[in-house]
Structure 1
Amino acid sequence: MELNEMNLLNAYERGFIDQDAEKVAHHPPQMIINSKEENVLSSILDEMEGCDAFFISVAFITEGGLATLKTTLHELAKRNVRGKIITSTYLNFNKPKVFKALLNIPNIDVRIADKQGFHAKGYVFSNVAYSSLFIGSSNLTDSALKKNYEYNLKLTSLDNGAVLNHFRDQFDDLWNEATPVDATWIMEYERIHKEQTDKQKILEIIEDRSKYQYRTSGAEGIVPNFMQQEALHSLKQLRSEGNDKGLVVSATGTGKTYLSAFDVKQFRPKRMLFLAHREQILEKARQDFMTLLEDSPSSFGVFSGNQKSTHSKYLFATVQTMSNEDTLGQFNPTEFDYIIVDEAHRSSARTYRRIINHFKPSFLLGMTATPERTDDNEIFGLFDYNIAYEIRLQNALEEEILAPFHYFGVTDYETEGLKIDDTSALSDLTNIERIRHLHEKIQYYGYSGETLCGLMFVSNKKEAQEVSYALNLLGYRTIALTGADAQDKRREAARNLENGHLDYIVTVDIFNEGIDIPSVNQVVMLRRTQSSIIFIQQLGRGLRKHDDKEYLTVIDFIGNYRNNYLIPIALTGDNSYNKDNLRRSLIDRTPLQGVSTINFESVAKEKIYQAINASSLDNLRHLKEMYIYLKNKIGRKPTLVDFYYDKDVIDPMIILNKYRHYPEFLQKIKEDDSTLEGPMDKMLTFLSEELAGGKRIVEMHLLKALMSGPVDKNEFQMEMHKQGYYMSDAVMDSVIRVFTLDFFRQQDILKYGYPLIHLDSGYIYPSELFESALHSKLFMKHYRQIMELSLLNSNQYDQSRPLTLNQKYSRKDVCRMLNWQKDEASTMYGYKQKHGTCPVFITYHKNEAVEDTINYDDEFLDRHTLKWFTRSNRTLASKEIKSILDGHQNGMPIHIFVKKDDDEGTAFYYLGKSRIDYHTLKETVMPGASGKPVVTMHMIMESPVEYNIYRYLDANVVK
């Protein structure tokens, strides 16, 4: 019996007979239920990516459900992989537009089941090794695949399995009886569907007239959403504590204007002033307030260049008009007891500040979606650093306040000799072939609803004009708008787009904010990402809910841009600028809650990887920008711990990985000129570089204990053990060697300079210099920060074990965590057997220039099995190999550490212990020209490799 058959049998034994059976089991039967950690869509896409053919049988398909598969289908088409879908017209649920979209996908054949009441849900994905079947309750809808509570059973079968063949037979019978979908069939179905839909609408209106009336009613139908309720409570609480200013950070589309109106309603001011920088915003705000507040229309006035309603109870004014000194003189400073500043990130401008300084309201409310990160922005100070509430994009999507979106990162046009990058000429950007490529992608990825309503963002004014012209030649109805166009022209274009008289507005950046077109169902980004803030502003133009769309389509054309690394930052909201997080986010199937998805074509994804690897996210300019932003936000000089807690700024460990310690960084950015004396400087360097990461927290607990006096070594060891920390005689000895510097190599000893402790008669004492440092206010200020940061970082690690699964460690870290006497990282050479352990370090993707003698073909065959190569020039008779094999049989653990490539730096993911499958031991030769002998074997992982790490290491592997 083949090994894969045995593993599959073991999997089914564990799945259906005995879950505790201790056997190697691959591809177990699995019940999949949508949750934050996993969903049906993720599992389906995993199998779909590596399949050679697929067969789907579902009653219902929605545009959103189909959208979730489009990128993978595109990649399969490049491999000439085709699939078949059987669906239905049951209850007229499937819209004609869905069938048109299916017909537009070149590698799918679609037929309509002729069975009465067809309600099947089954997915099969086949490759050369096996087939995967998903049988359960999920139709091909984005809600069923990602959000709804659904039961789906995933089964794996070899080619001759009875269940698989029974499904195939049933599918083939259905297929042969089914009606092919083509343009003629769709035309007839469209006629029938319209008749049935029109009848249904009439019946709904007749049977539920009150429901229809409610839809057209006014303020009584508007209530605060969940997040607005929380914000209103926070604002009320802020005022009850005596504060007269507050800032609300609220993602685009989450209802900032309504929130401010709700707060005005609960505050009940005598007079209110609403400030905005555009008259278009004022008109919309005035309409929203009129809808919500129970006052006569005459109470709501506009004060701008064209209108001068100075005496209205609720006054909506442009900043440009109100900031005029003569105008301000007409208003008493206490004229308004409630003032709202819209787009408050602009409030550090002179015009805004002139108004804010003039008036003395009882309460000043600032609202912004994106506080700018610039050196001169004092927005937080203007509102007394009172952030009343924050509604982030991720939270708003989870609470379903916004329309969900399907993001598609697609490859920009490329041909021999032409690649779109930061320096591309206008002739390249408007090349007719690029326009055709654009047309092809926007047709393929489509939009939700019956009428296209799109915004297209390009790089410059001339490109906007020429792209618009070229699209019009292709039959689209578009207009180019730039900052040079008058407000009246912009308003007219927005009306035409919303009314269906335009397909696209092509613009540079004038629609980043302040425009409200809820019916926008497609956003096209045909330019490099300038910043994550601008990205989110442009994405947000289509996130408002609208009856005519189920979701927003975002099509991002990704060229060879240096700033591509900003895309995952913007999409995930992870501003830590941690490269590992950014890389992994590209293959994470569950970064967004709800039905929203993030999809990248393979070439586009590779361009982002390249940008991440090439970027200097720790450059001084960027770090200083983050520092100043945080300083402005909290109103004082931030500490390392402030960086840790604020998720809008960089991970503080990036600072400590760049500079010896925080004071050195502060000196570099000219924020602090105080210096530590020689020994204190070196000791703080040691603490920052070796302990701030919190990988083994008992070390920091020992230092904390030493602040109260000498520490009894045995009592400390017992106390740590009692508290559940990983502790033994070997660990205690290792901790001591770290603090005496005996663990380190000579170059580190010279850098760190001075031991922190010494031992005497079973007691641990601080060294003389360390004790002296503890009496320095400057040293203690930074020492306490390192201590607190280390304790916070330690929460990422299982402190009851020496190593934590899926966390990253350098070779030096591993020597320390495994209690080796010395740091032997420099002589590790891939693996080393010592002190009863054997860590194995694997760089999964080798550099193309690597020598044949070290170009090993290490790879995961699946999440359970690693095919591993020893060093070259080794045979089964080699002393080194025999020692590892014998040692492992006698209980020596083998620890597996893997990184994707050398661009990740020196740290490796710890994937756990493994055991050697002695049946697979094989002596072979190195690939390539060297021909040197090497030993290979399978390592069976103690725990299957974490799902996202496995995909990250080799996302395209056929599992």
Structure 2
Amino acid sequence: MKLNQTQQQISDSLTNGFVERGVTGTEAMMPQFIYNREGDSMLLHIERELDNCSSFIFAIAFLTEGALTTLKVKLADLAEAGIHGRILTSDYLNFNAPKAFQELQKLKNVEVRLAEMHNFHAKGYIFEHEADHYQSAIIGSSNLTEKALTDNYEWNVKFTSYQNGTVTKQLVDAVEDAWQKATPLTADWINNYQQQYQPLVQPQIAEATATYTAITPNAMQQEALARLAEVRAQSEEKALVISATGTGKTYLAAFDVANYKPRKFLYIVHREQILDKSIASFKKVLGEPDAAFGKLSGNQKNTSAKYLFATIQTIAKDDWLQQFDPGEFDYILVDEAHRAGSPTYQKVLAYFTPNFLLGMTATPERSDAFNLYELFDYNIAYEIRLQKALDEDMLCPFHYIGITDYERDGEISDDTSQLKWLVSEERVTYILQQTDYYGYSGAALQGLIFCSRTEEAQALAAALTAKGHPSKALTGATPQVQRDAIVRELEHKQIEYIITVDVFNEGIDIPCVNQVVMLRNTQSSIVFIQQLGRGLRKFKNKDYVTVIDFIGNYKNNYLIPIALTGDKSRNKDSARDDLELRQISGVSTVNFSKIAKERIYQSINDTSLNTLRQLRDDYQDLKGRLGRVPLLADFQEFGTVDCTVFADKYQNYYQFLVKMKEDMHLTIDEERVLSFVSIELMNGKRSVELLLLQQLLELEGYIGQVRFEEFLTAQQVFHDQTVMNSVARVFSLAFFTKANQAKYGNQPIVEIVDNQYRFNAIIRTHLAENGDFKRLFMDAIKAGLLRSKRYDQTQQLMLYKRYTRKDVCRLLGWQTDSSSTLYGYRIKEGTCPIFVTYAKADDVDANINYEDQFINTSTFQWYTRHPAKLDSKEIVQILDKRTTLKLFIKKNDDEGSGFYYFGDVTVQDAQQETFQVKDGKTEPIVKFQLGLVDAAQFDKYLLFEK
């Protein structure tokens, strides 16, 4: 029987998977083993199949709310496209919580039934591809739970079969038989189930009533305590701890006080609500009688207590401050220390002379001119940010949902939206539909909503209450007593939402919060994380936090992926990569609806991430942290601005320092040399040149060629004769165009004389006579070497890293920079790099709008330029087995000049075709099937799958 195209593709794919991997299959149909390794997960495969199927059915015994939340964005997009599915599940072992069944009922495009058999233990996902008459299935150990989809070591097999394949028919028949016998999921069924439901395992979260003897430091706290002890051992009198909200910094402080054993201790904070909770925490840890603890705030003035807890507002008053001797407290702790720049804090801290001063904060970055780091003598004893805290399982996991805001007649919320639009009947209804659909963990909704302005908070609270969702607004004008009462109402489930503007960005602890809703522009990464953090404290019966972000037409949308990942590089390539991230840490996930993702992507493309103001802020923050002028290497070491950002914008760091009015001076010639290192070498994509410069500096300007190559071998850095010849041409400037040679001074940076590398005489003089030049020259080299750690230096090129055409010319060892004429491909010196822009712009010239695409992870379809024939000179060269072909791909032209490297490729097939150009004219062209020597990593392949 002659096979049709789909059957042949399936046949080839199955042969590849089970018989002979040399046979080229189609990626979407290839058998695959899935076990949640890095860059691959069940979640990725399920999402990919959902993107391409015409319908689906899940037969899964166990499911959780969190896993459903992770898929809800995708399922909502499918509902918009009219694609429906079915879920067959069960009440086996009472694993599935009643609320999980309630969440299933919210899936409007999904029909749900309960299997009749009491031991239903299936774990299968079937996807129909109706147009091509085949089904894909994933069967194995993964239930529909967060850990099974992302984190657990699971065994699953994905396979594909034509509609009349025996195995698929058996599978589909079995599912259909079970489906027909199954019971439809209804509200009545859920009510009956809930009445008899007994969970297998109760969540174990420490109760607030636990005694002090049960509390011991966690791993993070033990590390921080050791660092604090080291600081004091070095006779330092001040230290700062930077700790993400919810990571137990109050207990950490109490443990440190217990270790220190102060004669008298003072704790200062700005709000009484924080004070009361801190006293309770300290009592548990210290285990001393209540009489040892006192409070100086409001109506309580117990100033003689050994452990005194004070609000800054009270202790700063002269009547109270003067009652204390300046040396009365040998240990003072300032909580929320980023506030310590205010006059009241400065007054109190200037008055007291403790033996040790500790500051604690989650957000040390300041928008004012106050230098928090200086206050604590630049001693950062310990630092744990959001991502690390999630890695350490110190915070509650979260599922971030980025969806588009309400849109009507093309109008959507933006920076200029009027109040009547923000609280309109239609928008409020839409908000409630979305918050109900995405849900929350736990028995009752206890949510926080952040909005743009006070009037909106008040109007929205009234509107939600009127619709049956009791809510209260809490703004800067709300008195403290009323604030505390509103928080208690949320904690006691008397209201569902507190709606606020920026009041809860910090200094509030409501562990029960299980849903955070963002109805405003992302003002800054700091504020975003502060607001997200309001829901991340662990709490009994809260397995995760749902974060729902309504994304409008805001120019700051680009900040969202940057804030979620903690990316401070100001590099657009990194920001785009952040947007593709699906998992933050553990089971915490990020999900964007299709339209919301496009909106953010456009914001990244339209926004400048490296304005002078932005870079100045980053510079001032790092300068404050270090207590000196930061260098490029400092930015690299602290994981902030990418050093190449300064090179791209200013050519060298010196020019930026001039704008910062720092006292440094370089000559024009010195600047040219610094620009050369910064622009051409500092990206670290090949470390050989940087290492040579480093060695020359360390060895007083000379090193033998043989000795240097021995050094490279010892460092396991890739080098051969082609590389060494290339390095010589780079340093002589012969590699560069005439314009760039002039730009860099027309003088060789490094010469080869008597088989020795050496700086030219002019550079040796500059290094000897100008300390500023030497410092910045060495810094650029160090920054480049730090950045080079991102690349595997044992290889010429590293898979899935971005390279420009100019990078490729240099790293391949070409005699000259041919990037300006390289275009799509060029055969030179035995190598042919192929550059593909995957998604052509809508207005691209028809003459170059080729159908270049992945056939599967191992095969790429590529078209040459036209006119081209199989017997054309360049085609013959490409077909020559002695020519090395290397494939580079970028998503679209918005992504700048960098292309992902997909490795070497071989020609599997070449066919003569014709290509239609303007006015109906056709020209010859060659279509290649290129086989990837290294099959594409799954997550990178998904970036380019059409």
Is this a same-fold pair by TM over 0.5? yes
Letter in 1 for 2:913: K
Q: Does 1:691 align with 2:681?
A: yes
C-alpha offsets along residues 864-884 of structure 1, whole Å, 9 cap, x if unaligned? Answer: 222222224x142673xx423
Report the equivalent of 2:113.
111
Q: What SS does the corresponding residue of 1:80 show, helix, strand or coil?
A: coil
C-alpha distance in structure 2 between counterparts of 1:724 and 1:878, whole Å: 42
Q: What SS does the corresponding residue of 2:856 show, helix, strand or coil?
A: coil
Q: What SS does the corresponding residue of 1:775 show, helix, strand or coil?
A: helix
Moved more, 520-529 or 46-55: 46-55
Q: C-alpha displacement at 1:343, in angstroms?
A: 0.6
C-alpha distance in structure 2 between counterparts of 1:726 and 1:261, whole Å: 52
Q: Which of 628, 636, 643 is matched with 2:635 structurally? A: 643
C-alpha offsets along residues 168-189 of structure 1, whole Å, 9 cap, x if unaligned? Answer: 1110110011001122322332
Q: Which of 927, 937, 950 is matched with 2:928 structurally? A: 937
Letter in 1 for 2:307: Y
Report the equivalent of 1:159.
163
Q: C-alpha displacement at 1:809, in angstroms?
A: 1.5
C-alpha distance in structure 2 between counterparts of 1:721 and 1:14, whole Å: 39
C-alpha distance in structure 2 between counterparts of 1:176 and 1:856, whole Å: 48
How many percent of aligned residue pairs carry the same amino acid? 45
Q: Is the 8 Å Cα contact of residues 647 and 675 (structure 2) preserved in structure 1?
A: no
Q: Describe the shift of the 1:168–1:533 C-alpha distance in structure 2 as closer, same or farther (beyond 3 A).
A: same
C-alpha distance in structure 2 between counterparts of 1:770 and 1:574, whole Å: 37
Q: Is the 8 Å Cα contact of residues 457 and 525 (structure 1) preserved in structure 2?
A: yes
Q: Does 1:830 align with 2:824?
A: yes
Letter in 1 for 2:874: S
Q: Describe the shift of the 1:24–1:140 C-alpha distance in structure 2 as closer, same or farther (beyond 3 A).
A: closer
TM-score with structure 1 setting the length = 0.93
Q: Describe the shift of the 1:953–1:345 C-alpha distance in structure 2 as closer, same or farther (beyond 3 A).
A: farther
CA RMSD of aligned residues (A): 2.5
Q: Does 1:378 align with 2:382?
A: no
Q: Does 1:857 align with 2:848?
A: no
Q: Is the 8 Å Cα contact of residues 214 and 221 (structure 1) preserved in structure 2?
A: no
Q: C-alpha displacement at 1:292, in angstroms?
A: 2.7
Letter in 2 for 1:62: T
Letter in 2 for 1:413: Y
Q: Does 1:185 align with 2:189?
A: yes
Q: Describe the shift of the 1:727–1:6 C-alpha distance in structure 2 as closer, same or farther (beyond 3 A).
A: farther
C-alpha distance in structure 1 between counterparts of 2:635 and 2:167, whole Å: 55
Q: Is the 8 Å Cα contact of residues 302 and 309 (structure 1) preserved in structure 2?
A: yes
Report the equivalent of 1:81.
83
C-alpha distance in structure 2 between counterparts of 1:787 and 1:98, whole Å: 56
C-alpha offsets along residues 268-308 of structure 1, whole Å, 9 cap, x if unaligned? Answer: 21221111111111111112222332122222222123322
Letter in 2 for 1:680: E
Q: What SS does the corresponding residue of 1:774 show, helix, strand or coil?
A: helix
C-alpha distance in structure 2 between counterparts of 1:424 and 1:605, whole Å: 21
Letter in 2 for 1:642: D
Q: What SS does the corresponding residue of 1:696 show, helix, strand or coil?
A: coil
Moved more, 390-399 or 884-893: 884-893
Q: Describe the shift of the 1:524–1:346 C-alpha distance in structure 2 as closer, same or farther (beyond 3 A).
A: same
C-alpha distance in structure 2 between counterparts of 1:856 and 1:373, whole Å: 50
Q: Describe the shift of the 1:739–1:310 C-alpha distance in structure 2 as closer, same or farther (beyond 3 A).
A: same
Q: Which of 634, 650, 653 is matched with 1:662 structurally? A: 653
C-alpha distance in structure 2 between counterparts of 1:6 and 1:836, whole Å: 36
Q: C-alpha displacement at 1:857, in angstroms?
A: 2.9
C-alpha distance in structure 2 between counterparts of 1:71 and 1:868, whole Å: 34
Moved more, 863-872 or 176-185: 863-872
Report the equivalent of 1:172.
176
Q: Does 1:587 align with 2:580?
A: yes
Q: Is the 8 Å Cα contact of residues 856 and 926 (structure 1) preserved in structure 2?
A: no
C-alpha distance in structure 2 between counterparts of 1:642 and 1:550, whole Å: 39
Report the equivalent of 1:134.
138
Q: Is the 8 Å Cα contact of residues 126 and 138 (structure 2) preserved in structure 1?
A: yes
Q: C-alpha displacement at 1:158, in angstroms?
A: 3.8
Report the equivalent of 2:622.
630
Q: Which of 35, 41, 54 is matched with 1:39 structurally? A: 41
C-alpha offsets along residues 202-252 of structure 1, whole Å, 9 cap, x if unaligned? Answer: xx99xxxxx999995422332222211221222222222222211111111
Q: C-alpha displacement at 1:485, in angstroms?
A: 0.8
Report the equivalent of 2:671.
681
Q: Describe the shift of the 1:760–1:212 C-alpha distance in structure 2 as closer, same or farther (beyond 3 A).
A: closer
Report the equivalent of 1:264.
257
Report the equivalent of 1:781.
775
C-alpha offsets along residues 568-610 of structure 1, whole Å, 9 cap, x if unaligned? Answer: 12111222222112211222233x2221111111111111111
Q: Describe the shift of the 1:22–1:790 C-alpha distance in structure 2 as closer, same or farther (beyond 3 A).
A: farther
Moved more, 104-113 or 801-810: 801-810
Q: C-alpha displacement at 1:393, in angstroms?
A: 1.3
Q: Describe the shift of the 1:406–1:765 C-alpha distance in structure 2 as closer, same or farther (beyond 3 A).
A: closer
C-alpha distance in structure 1 between counterparts of 2:193 and 2:210, whole Å: 35
Q: Which of 878, 883, 886 is matched with 1:892 structurally? A: 883
Moved more, 57-66 or 525-534: 57-66
Q: Describe the shift of the 1:36–1:887 C-alpha distance in structure 2 as closer, same or farther (beyond 3 A).
A: closer
Q: Is the 8 Å Cα contact of residues 39 and 938 (structure 2) preserved in structure 1?
A: no
Q: Is the 8 Å Cα contact of residues 511 and 538 (structure 1) preserved in structure 2?
A: yes
C-alpha offsets along residues 107-164 of structure 1, whole Å, 9 cap, x if unaligned? Answer: 1111101112111111122325553322222221112222333322333334343322
TM-score with structure 2 setting the length = 0.94
C-alpha distance in structure 1 between counterparts of 2:729 and 2:205, whole Å: 77
Q: Which of 228, 233, 236 is matched with 1:240 structurally? A: 233
Letter in 1 for 2:641: I
Q: Describe the shift of the 1:928–1:149 C-alpha distance in structure 2 as closer, same or farther (beyond 3 A).
A: farther
Q: Describe the shift of the 1:520–1:294 C-alpha distance in structure 2 as closer, same or farther (beyond 3 A).
A: same
Q: Does 1:99 align with 2:89?
A: no
Q: Does 1:531 align with 2:524?
A: yes
Q: What SS does the corresponding residue of 1:456 show, helix, strand or coil?
A: strand
Q: Which of 417, 426, 436 is matched with 2:419 structurally? A: 426
Q: Describe the shift of the 1:98–1:744 C-alpha distance in structure 2 as closer, same or farther (beyond 3 A).
A: same
Q: Does 1:771 align with 2:764?
A: yes
C-alpha offsets along residues 40-66 of structure 1, whole Å, 9 cap, x if unaligned? Answer: 222222222222221111111111121
Q: Describe the shift of the 1:230–1:502 C-alpha distance in structure 2 as closer, same or farther (beyond 3 A).
A: same
Q: What SS does the corresponding residue of 1:841 show, helix, strand or coil?
A: strand
Q: What SS does the corresponding residue of 1:84 show, helix, strand or coil?
A: strand
C-alpha distance in structure 2 between counterparts of 1:930 and 1:265, whole Å: 85
Q: Is the 8 Å Cα contact of residues 584 and 948 (structure 1) preserved in structure 2?
A: no
Letter in 1 for 2:233: S
Q: C-alpha displacement at 1:24, in angstroms?
A: 6.2
Moved more, 499-508 or 263-272: 263-272
Q: C-alpha displacement at 1:70, in angstroms?
A: 0.7
Q: What SS does the corresponding residue of 2:62 show, helix, strand or coil?
A: coil
C-alpha distance in structure 1 between counterparts of 2:918 and 2:838, whole Å: 15
Report the equivalent of 1:208.
none
C-alpha distance in structure 1 between counterparts of 2:209 and 2:610, whole Å: 54
Moved more, 102-111 or 845-854: 845-854
Report the equivalent of 1:332.
325
Q: Is the 8 Å Cα contact of residues 561 and 575 (structure 2) preserved in structure 1?
A: yes
Letter in 1 for 2:403: V
Q: Does 1:702 align with 2:692?
A: yes
Q: Does 1:368 align with 2:349?
A: no
Q: Is the 8 Å Cα contact of residues 717 and 728 (structure 1) preserved in structure 2?
A: no
Q: What SS does the corresponding residue of 2:762 show, helix, strand or coil?
A: helix
C-alpha distance in structure 2 between counterparts of 1:846 and 1:377, whole Å: 49
C-alpha distance in structure 2 between counterparts of 1:721 and 1:296, whole Å: 66
C-alpha distance in structure 1 between counterparts of 2:205 and 2:10, whole Å: 56
C-alpha distance in structure 2 between counterparts of 1:890 and 1:149, whole Å: 42
Q: Is the 8 Å Cα contact of residues 505 and 527 (structure 2) preserved in structure 1?
A: yes
Letter in 1 for 2:148: A
C-alpha distance in structure 1 between counterparts of 2:540 and 2:887, whole Å: 52
C-alpha distance in structure 2 between counterparts of 1:919 and 1:639, whole Å: 52
Moved more, 759-768 or 281-290: 759-768
C-alpha distance in structure 1 between counterparts of 2:512 and 2:482, whole Å: 19
Q: What SS does the corresponding residue of 1:802 show, helix, strand or coil?
A: coil
C-alpha distance in structure 2 between counterparts of 1:831 and 1:292, whole Å: 67
Q: Does 1:813 align with 2:807?
A: yes
Q: Is the 8 Å Cα contact of residues 373 and 626 (structure 1) preserved in structure 2?
A: no
C-alpha distance in structure 2 between counterparts of 1:361 and 1:718, whole Å: 56
